[in-house]
Amino acid sequence: MKTFISLCLICAFLCGCNKSAGHPGVYERNGTTVDVNDQRPDLYNYVDTGNGERMDDFGFVRHVKSPVAGQNPANKPVFINREKLADMISRLVVSLPEVTDCSTLVTSKEALVAYTTGSRDRRRVAEQVKRTAMSVVPRQYEVYVTDDPSLRKEIENFAGLDSDSGGIDKVLNLTIQRMIDSTPQGTEPPAGGG
């Protein structure tokens, strides 16, 4: 009986050591994800960007199947933050030497990029802008670019809408067609992702 009680106490002690105060253990977020612990900045070279983001870390996440039936992390939907994606595209495009202004709209399947340039070589700048945007969006997205100021205003008018807005697909397709007609769209990348 003493051996059984001793064994129970040792097991309880070891289980208690697994969880420290304020730390949920190895599985940080949802019970099936292993993430780098941001609670210990002394272990990692933390670079303060002013807004609490880390700029020097690799991105790493490992998912494991849950031992609990029916809790598979692969069954959870994956979402793209369209606002951050649009922000990233606009920041990169405006960093191009001949682009002075950029507005980007990201929908569920397209990125519409309106920019201002002083260059006379519209085709070359359109190519640069399109390739820059394509380097950021998921591969299945279509990217359309324009340097037409009237289309910029049209694209900006979509900012308050969403995918569920009535008739949005028809209006978006008309705008996209006008973008294609008014501005060079650059060359398509070769098949195979090159």
Q: What is the pLDDT of residue 30?
A: 53
Give the neighbor-by-neighbor strand order of the sheet with 110-117: 99-106, 110-117, 142-146
pTM for the predicted model, two decimal places:
0.64
* Domain positions in the chain: 25-78, 82-182
- The CATH code of the domain at 82-182 is 3.30.70.1350
95 exposed, middle or buried (CB, 10 Å; 0-12, 13-18, 19+)?
exposed
What would the pLDDT profile of 6-64 be if each residue is shown by its tens digit?
Answer: 666 666 656 555 544 454 444 455 555 445 555 555 444 555 556 666 566 677 776 66
- Strands 110-117 and 142-146 turn out to be parallel
